[in-house]
Amino acid sequence: MCSNCGPVKIGKVRTGFWRCRKALNEAERIGEYRRKWGVAPPGADKKCEICAGTIKLAYDHSHKSGVFRGWLCMKCNTALGLINDDVKLLKKMVVYLEE
């Protein structure tokens, strides 16, 4: 009996709890985020802070300072990355789109 999912194929982990592969993978993912970024991965109710999308949320951070800025969908995160977080260029793009 998995302590997270109920009756499934299980294996015992170092903590002494019995968990299925899905629960072990999720625990590893959470641990990886905490080690790498210092924050837990987004929950199921989390949305992109730009477009409110929920598909493939990514950890967004400043490449200059390394500071966490928020959770963005892959589209918004990629768009910011492609313009190198340049606010002036982004403003020019907005002007272009509004014409």
Q: What are the chain's domains?
A: 1-40 (no CATH), 42-99 (3.40.1800.10)
Detail the DSSP E strand segments found in 1-99: 11-12, 18-19, 57-61, 68-73
Pick out the chain residues at pLDDT < 70. Answer: 1-21, 23, 44
| Class of residue 19 by CB neighbours under 10 A (exposed 0-12, middle 13-18, buried 19+) | buried
What is the length of the chain? 99
Q: What is the pLDDT of residue 59?
A: 84
Stated pTM of the model: 0.60
